Amino acid sequence: MRVYNFSPGPSMLPLPALEKAAAEMIDAGGTGQSVMEMSHRSGDFKPIIEKTGSLLRELMGIPPNYRVLFLQGGASLQFSMVPLNLAASGGGPADGGRKRITLVDTGVWADKAAKEAAKYAEVNVAASSKDRAYTYIPAAPAPGADDAYYHITWNNTIVGTRWPAIPATGNIPLVTDLSSAILSEPLDVSRFALIYAGAQKNLGPAGTTVVIIREDLLGRAPAWVPAMLRYDLQDKEGSMYNTPPCYGIYIIGLVLEWLKNLGGVEAVAALNREKAALLYGCLETSKTFYSPVEKNFRSLMNIPFVPRETDPVRKAEIEKRFVAEAAAAGLVNLAGHRLVGGMRASVYNAMPIEGVKALIAFIETFERSLK
């Protein structure tokens, strides 16, 4: 029996995609082999990566002057690759002529991006919501006139916040970590200079990272940047400078097929808004739990909730019991991040509305059991 998996990542995948992958496990497309066995430079794999890239372009409305790369290392490696390619100085990390970037700190992953970028550039943390435990998105200050780029984390997986609008940065390239919200709602790709996303939320299995980069930003990396970390070289080689994560790319393609058949990003966005509204509505009326995130900045994808109980011992008991009993009921991976505690329901594209309704019913039953 399949469970409702509320994990923040790796997360649940659409059942039709998994079923097709299972059917093709030992014979993909009549080739007599699994995708896991294919040479990445073979005529069998080439149409797979090309179709995956084409579907992503179609579903996201990616303009023709943007390149799509399938890389490795997760979004965490992009914390280094972005500054190495867009802001690194020609003399190496110790060069005194460091370029500046502006970053808005909205949580753990934004902070990690800032710390990695600081190894290669001057980082201006222009605003932060740390003062209120990252429960809101601060106003976005204007970038500096000479900034190499402006970085935001669109959706904050741990604390459950989301940018309410794309900030205006003028001629300064806007970069975003879109890992936990890619394809969850329509976004104007042309407003961004570079988008990166780890696959294990809305795209596919862990191990593949998608980078969407405006082509005029290619070729800016100094000569000392390692070959594997250069966007221009990865683009020149068609994401195959070395062996790419072939099976992950194949699964992403199946997920994109599912999304297209569902009606595309507009259709799934409507479902996501409905799922989020149901769960937030439950928490608004709950006498046991509440959402700590300010309403204007609540994520559609990651919904943390915590007990209203103020006694720390009793609160911990409620959280432990809730997570255990929910798992026994087939609602798994609801524990909050270790840094913030509580519970967290990640309701990515593949989470059916029935899973959210089952969680709401469990919350109501759990509340009655506490009386």
- Considering 105, 177, 235, 275, which one is annotated as catalytic? 177
Helix, strand or coil for residue 349? Answer: coil
Choosing from 109, 154, 163, 258, the catalytic residue is: 109
Q: Cβ(72)–Cβ(57) under 8 Å?
A: no
| Known catalytic membership, residue 260 | no
Catalytic (active site) residue 130: no
Enumerate residues 6+ apart whose C-beta is below 8 A from 369.
none
> 330: helix, coil or strand?
coil
Three-state DSSP at 172 gives: coil
Q: Cα-flanking dihedrals φ and ψ of residue 339, to 5°?
A: -80, -20
- What DSSP line would sit under 234-264, residue for residue? HHHTTT-SS---HHHHHHHHHHHHHHHHHTH
Residue with the two structure tokens 């089952």: 358
Asked whether 127 and 138 are in contact (CB, 8 A), the reply is: yes
Pairing verdict, β 150-153 and 100-105 = parallel
Give yes or no: 177 in active site.
yes
Per annotation, catalytic residue among 147, 201, 258, 275: 201
Q: Supply 237's token pair.
A: 């080689």
Tokens of 309: 């109980």
214, 78 Cβ separation under 8 angstroms: no
Number of other residues whose CB lies within 10 A of the CB of residue 190: 12
Find residue 298's DSSP bridge partners. 161
- The token duo for 298 is 């609540």
Q: Give the residue numbers marked as catalytic.
A: 109, 177, 201
